[in-house]
């Protein structure tokens, strides 16, 4: 049981870090130049961006952990719990590291997610 909880927390943490790194990597792109029309000119910038490369590496690790976790558990139980934890962790990380503002409705939403995680895990 503790191994499953640890793996769920590991996946949620990895994914929250992945999206934080992607956000930091995407900040360097000008909104007007990021389009499908000039994707070929942006590819070198994307593939040599340390934040994006780091997020891809962590995503690969997360994928392997997902495979292990899903091989031993019900997807209908594990997936909602993991994704819910991912929302909560990303909420916290975005506030601390990206200095994103949070509204009262978002805080209430996180509380509802935590209640949902509790109910699903029963």
- Quote the CA–CA distance of 69 and 79 in Å, as a whole number: 10
pLDDT (average), residues 92-117? 90
pLDDT reading at 36 higher than 80: no
- pLDDT, tens digit, 9 for 90 and up, residues 57-89: 999 999 999 999 999 888 888 888 888 889 899
Q: CA dist 68 to 20, 59, 73, 77, 79, Å?
A: 24, 14, 9, 15, 13
Calculate the alpha carbon distances from 41 to 28, 38, 52, 54 in Å: 14, 6, 16, 21
> Which structural domain, as residue segments, surrounds residue 92?
2-120
Top-confidence residue, 22 or 42? 22
CA atoms of 116 and 3, how far apart (whole Å)? 21
**Dist. CA 47–CA 43, nearest whole Å:** 6
Number of domains in the chain: 1
Q: Are 54 and 21 in contact (CB under 8 A)?
A: yes
């Amino acid at each position: 049981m503790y191994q499953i909880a640890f793996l769920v927390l590991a996946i949620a943490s990895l994914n929250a870090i992945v999206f934080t790194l992607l956000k930091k990597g995407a900040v360097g792109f000008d909104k007007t130049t990021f389009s499908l029309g000039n994707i070929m000119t942006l590819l070198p910038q994307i593939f040599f961006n340390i934040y994006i490369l780091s997020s891809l590496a962590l995503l690969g690790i997360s994928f392997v952990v997902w495979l292990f976790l899903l091989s031993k558990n019900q997807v209908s139980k594990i997936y909602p719990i993991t994704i819910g934890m991912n929302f909560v962790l990303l909420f916290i990380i975005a506030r601390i590291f990206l200095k994103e503002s949070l509204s009262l409705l978002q805080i209430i939403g996180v509380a509802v997610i935590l209640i949902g995680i509790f109910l699903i895990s029963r």
